[in-house]
Structure 1
Amino acid sequence: MDATTNNKPGYTYQAVYRYLLDRIEAAPGDVEQRLPSLRQLAQRLGVSVSSTKYAYSLLEDQGRVYARPKLGYFTRVSAHSPPAERLSSLLDTVFASARQPGMLALSSDAPAMLLSLEQPLLMIERELARQYPRSPTPLYQPFGEPELRSVLADRYTRPAQRYWQAEHVFIGADLRSVLELSLRALGLEGEVALVESPCNWAVLRQLQAARMTIIEMPLGEDGRFDLPQLQQVLSTAPVRLAVLSSATNVPQGGVMPAADKQQICAWLAEGDVWLFENDGYGELCFDDSVPRYRDYADPDRLLVFATFDKVMGAEAPYGYLLCQRHTEPLQRLFLERAFRLSPIRQKAIAKLFTSRRVEQHVRKLRATLHARMQHLQALLEAHGQGCLRIVAAQGGAGLWLEATRPVDMRRVFERLLAQRIVIAPGEIFSLRGLWRSHLRLSYTLDWRKDIPQALQQLVKAIQAEAQTP
């Protein structure tokens, strides 16, 4: 292996990382192996010690290796699947179970279930269909309908911070496709990404699909990072991309202080790191005055992405992004992908915005979510028997909870399945197997069901698991 074929630190680091990963995966998973020291590996591959240190630190973050003082690095023995495989398996089980008839899904994440715009959207669509004559050859716009792109540009423009134009907006089929094209267009596939943890599972999956090395930065209960630790990571690891929530950290529910956001954006700019701001829940922060990362970010390395469905409902599944710089590669890839998105549906969404219907709806939805959150919190306090610690939610559609005694929430999930109750274990929001004693409970659930009884079953399952040897 020649790790010196490219002198850029990022490329050297990746070569070392892949060498170690291949070595770890080639060995039996149930046998611990000692790995070369930093200096031994550097000499063997002809790279710097700092490059080998980068590689080991990320493998350590991912739970693949651990360090013994004065002895070096060792692989972790695991009788189970690697963390990434465990995530996919558990996540698929959660979603498949929630879709089964008769299941009470306490795991759902669909804010618009409480209050949607689907009926007004479809009514406007029917009206527009009568106004626009049917063309024998539908004229699909490669970047999205001009009306919708213009509306989004106006909506995101904040005169004191940043102006957007329609040419900066791109509409895709869904969140997955928008992220996929963004990473490819900006040359970020296979690079190192930093994410907040717990992290949106859909974002994690797409970064995995792009073969990215993922560094997870845990959030405290106050919604903040350990800033010295974050600075250390940004100064030592070859991070090319940071994916952060715009307002409310979802699913954790906290809010990053403005001063922290400003400092983080300054560090990202110093390192020439792309910021992908996840604005999927930006409208659902209970305090609308909370500043966004984009208010402080370097416009040359900023991309904002979101979907319509969290606010409008399942009939508006499209994803979108805003990016002021490097739009040419985005245009090229969107042209190649040639999304066939309904022009009339996009025009109808645009009309909901221009009529201020969305603005009115968001205010009502926020109030409804806040009331449901308080109701669920009161039920948990009444029936929780001290088993769960609640992280106060400042937005979003769910509560982030931690068991007061260490338990494997995956096992709790399995116990509840037998009672036709589905929860979202905290493990699905991490690739490193973090948050195993946590879970997310949605308050956009079917409130016609006996929710107090379901919460009592949850508490019993946690207590039973805590007593299991």
Structure 2
Amino acid sequence: MNLRGERQVDFAYQAVYRYMINLINEVSRETPVKLPSLRQLSTRMNVSISTIQYAYSLLEKEGRVYSVAKSGYFAWPVAANAPLMAGTDLLERLYTAARRPAMVVLSGDEPALLGSLDGALLALERQLVRRYPHHLQPSQPCGVWELRAALAARYTSSPTRCWQADEVYVGADLQGVLGILIDALGLKGTVVVVESPCDYLVLRLLQAAGVRVIEWPWRADGRPDLATLEHLLRHEPVHLVLLSSVVSMPSGNTMTEPERLHVARLLDQHGCWLLENDTFGDLSFAPPGPALRSRVNPERLIVFSSFEKVLGPEAPFGYLLARQMSSELQRQFLLRSFRLSAIRQRAIARLYESGRFDQHLQTLRQRLHEQAHAMSHRLDVRLQGRVHYRMPVAGASFWLQSTAPVDMRLVFQRMLAQQVVIAPGELFSLSGLHHQHMRLSHTFSGHPNLDIALDTLAQSLRQAQTE
């Protein structure tokens, strides 16, 4: 069941990507199968090897394929009826289910599904290829200067809150950039406080790096528990605090101006760094208030984000901004040797400079707002009081809480049996929080199977009640 719809304009790598998806779905579904080599596909489809490599990297990131040194790429088994073992890691089960054929994937938060700049980027790339021939493009391990300068200008808000291009670092994707940051900061063995719920990608990266993560949950009324934060900073050797810039996702909570100032004072008082997640900073439905970064000491501030939430998978690059540690960050980016498309980076920079990015963003916000209201109506009708929630103020998902105690893992498993994927709330915690919650996407417009999926969810919630 495909809820994404077809795009009218494709990059070459997207055509390759779609071809590979169909090929993977046709091959044996019992054991891993070797896929065509880069050179074979390049010849078959009459595109460059780098285009094939980029499509494969997307498939690898999604968990559909894996690479073996000196052997090539292989497709994971995708048996449509194979059971997902209850004992396996929950996140692994979600990823596995989401890549199986015919699944309705309601687990994500992908705003760009409602709007794309594919055509604009393609046109800009064609112009730039003539101006910047591939063989004349020098390697720029931290990203091309044009894009770094555009981001620096966008994040500059005053003479004391200004950024320079050499304080911006662009990597292949958000995961790669965060991995570099963890190494550069030397976070292994340190204490980091993170807001909760928190994106599971970030949590798993910190956990894998040997960081001691202390979760700071928002209160039930949607307000930050400032007394608890102060207690943690006073009694724990906190090295860094990870918070959202404007809206905390997936919960959709926001701070008032007095709360932002209070947090800034606490961080300054205890000499803590702020690692600000700006992934959804541009995706508030209404004009947002000041970002948290505008209230903290800029010398102890690092901001990270990506383009993917706004521009979609054609712009997977992640980036960060930091005034300090320039030598170590440059060294780490050089060691990673990201193979980024310079032309695509320059095309994104042109979108910023021309104002087309902001025009697109305004349209996307409006569509997200409208879609959230439509989904809210569906939830009220189909789930009939089995969940409660606050209306989203940003992004492309709802943060739902069951009104009755349920076994949410059982709900997740029952939904998989009906070919529907949801994101259980416990994924957004390392300490077992949010086990009565789930994240549900709302970026599906008028799909005939959505109501069926929600009816199935209502039935699964009823069947999984524990009291």
TM-score (norm 2): 0.79
Q: Which moved more, 1:230-239 or 1:178-187?
A: 178-187
Task: Give the superposition deviation at 1:222.
Answer: 4.2
**Aligned match of 1:113:** 113
**Aligned match of 2:331:** 332
- Decide whether the 8 Å contact of 1:254 with 1:392 is kept in 2: no
**Aligned match of 2:26:** none
Task: Give the superposition deviation at 1:289.
Answer: 3.1
Task: Give the superposition deviation at 1:189.
Answer: 2.5
Residues 167-246 of structure 1: matches in 2 within 5 Å? 167-246=166-245
Q: C-alpha separation between the residues in 1 aligned to 2:407 and 2:237?
A: 33
Specify the code of the residue in structure 2 equivalent to 1:306. S
TM-score (norm 1): 0.79
- Decide whether the 8 Å contact of 1:223 with 1:249 is kept in 2: no
What CA deviation, in whole Å up to 9, does each residue of 1:18-50 have, x standing for no partner?
A: xxxxxxxxxxxxxxxxxxxxxxxxxxxxxxxxx
- Decide whether the 8 Å contact of 1:253 with 1:398 is kept in 2: no
Aligned to 1:216, the other structure's residue is in SS state strand
Specify the code of the residue in structure 1 equivalent to 2:316. P
Alignment pair present for 1:362 and 2:370 = no
**Aligned match of 1:301:** 300
Task: Give the superposition deviation at 1:443.
Answer: 0.8
- Decide whether the 8 Å contact of 1:276 with 1:302 is kept in 2: yes
Q: C-alpha separation between the residues in 1 aligned to 2:263 and 2:421?
A: 36
**Aligned match of 1:455:** 454
- Decide whether the 8 Å contact of 1:299 with 1:325 is kept in 2: no
**Aligned match of 1:122:** 122
Aligned to 1:170, the other structure's residue is in SS state strand
Task: Give the superposition deviation at 1:376.
Answer: 0.7
Task: Give the superposition deviation at 1:392.
Answer: 2.4
**Aligned match of 1:104:** 104
What CA deviation, in whole Å up to 9, does each residue of 1:191-217 have, x standing for no partner?
A: 111011110111101111221000011
Aligned to 1:400, the other structure's residue is in SS state strand
Q: C-alpha separation between the residues in 2 aligned to 1:253 and 1:337?
A: 34
Q: C-alpha separation between the residues in 2 aligned to 1:214 and 1:417?
A: 30
What CA deviation, in whole Å up to 9, does each residue of 1:301-351 have, x standing for no partner?
A: 100000001000101000000111222211221222222211111111101
**Aligned match of 2:279:** 280
Task: Give the superposition deviation at 1:451.
Answer: 1.4
Q: C-alpha separation between the residues in 2 aligned to 1:202 and 1:161?
A: 32
Specify the code of the residue in structure 2 equivalent to 1:197. S
Aligned to 1:382, the other structure's residue is in SS state helix
- Decide whether the 8 Å contact of 1:108 with 1:445 is kept in 2: no
- Decide whether the 8 Å contact of 2:148 with 2:166 is kept in 1: yes
Task: Give the superposition deviation at 1:447.
Answer: 4.0
Alignment pair present for 1:95 and 2:103 = no
- Decide whether the 8 Å contact of 1:275 with 1:303 is kept in 2: yes
Specify the code of the residue in structure 2 equivalent to 1:178. V
Specify the code of the residue in structure 1 equivalent to 2:200. W
Q: C-alpha separation between the residues in 2 aligned to 1:325 and 1:336?
A: 19
Moved over 3 A (4+): none
Q: 1:222 to 1:152 in 2, by over 3 A?
A: farther
Q: 1:405 to 1:157 in 2, by over 3 A?
A: same
**Aligned match of 1:164:** 163
Q: C-alpha separation between the residues in 2 aligned to 1:337 and 1:248?
A: 31
- Decide whether the 8 Å contact of 2:108 with 2:439 is kept in 1: no
Q: C-alpha separation between the residues in 2 aligned to 1:351 and 1:216?
A: 39
Q: C-alpha separation between the residues in 1 aligned to 2:374 and 2:160?
A: 37
- Decide whether the 8 Å contact of 1:427 with 1:435 is kept in 2: yes
Q: C-alpha separation between the residues in 2 aligned to 1:414 and 1:331?
A: 44
- Decide whether the 8 Å contact of 2:371 with 2:445 is kept in 1: no
Specify the code of the residue in structure 2 equivalent to 1:368. R
Task: Give the superposition deviation at 1:140.
Answer: 1.5
Specify the code of the residue in structure 1 equivalent to 2:244. S
Q: 1:420 to 1:446 in 2, by over 3 A?
A: farther
Q: C-alpha separation between the residues in 2 aligned to 1:140 and 1:90?
A: 39
- Decide whether the 8 Å contact of 2:146 with 2:349 is kept in 1: yes
Aligned to 1:223, the other structure's residue is in SS state coil
Specify the code of the residue in structure 1 equivalent to 2:350. K
Task: Give the superposition deviation at 1:160.
Answer: 6.9
Task: Give the superposition deviation at 1:255.
Answer: 1.0
- Decide whether the 8 Å contact of 1:265 with 1:297 is kept in 2: yes
Q: C-alpha separation between the residues in 2 aligned to 1:452 and 1:300?
A: 50
**Aligned match of 1:41:** none
What CA deviation, in whole Å up to 9, does each residue of 1:402-441 have, x standing for no partner?
A: 0001112111010111111111110110011111110011
Aligned to 2:262, the other structure's residue is in SS state helix
Task: Give the superposition deviation at 1:223.
Answer: 3.3
Q: C-alpha separation between the residues in 1 aligned to 2:160 and 2:310?
A: 24
What CA deviation, in whole Å up to 9, does each residue of 1:237-294 have, x standing for no partner?
A: 1110111111111000121112111111211122221111000110001232311110
Q: 1:447 to 1:205 in 2, by over 3 A?
A: farther
Q: C-alpha separation between the residues in 2 aligned to 1:279 and 1:115?
A: 20
Aligned to 2:361, the other structure's residue is in SS state helix
Q: C-alpha separation between the residues in 2 aligned to 1:95 and 1:116?
A: 24
Task: Give the superposition deviation at 1:90.
Answer: 0.8
- Decide whether the 8 Å contact of 1:221 with 1:391 is kept in 2: no
Q: C-alpha separation between the residues in 2 aligned to 1:133 and 1:370?
A: 41
Task: Give the superposition deviation at 1:385.
Answer: 1.8
- Decide whether the 8 Å contact of 1:311 with 1:362 is kept in 2: yes
Which runs of 5 or more structure 1 residues have no equivalent in the other structure? 1-85
Specify the code of the residue in structure 2 equivalent to 1:349. I
Q: Which moved more, 1:325-334 or 1:145-154?
A: 325-334
Which runs of 5 or more structure 2 residues have no equivalent in the other structure? 1-85
Specify the code of the residue in structure 2 equivalent to 1:395. A
Aligned to 2:194, the other structure's residue is in SS state strand
Q: Taking every aligned residue pair, what percent have the same amino acid on both sides?
A: 45
**Aligned match of 1:464:** 463
Q: 1:161 to 1:446 in 2, by over 3 A?
A: farther
Task: Give the superposition deviation at 1:391.
Answer: 2.3
Task: Give the superposition deviation at 1:382.
Answer: 1.3
Larger Rg: 1
Number of equivalent positions: 382
Specify the code of the residue in structure 2 equivalent to 1:120. A
- Decide whether the 8 Å contact of 2:246 with 2:288 is kept in 1: no
**Aligned match of 1:395:** 394
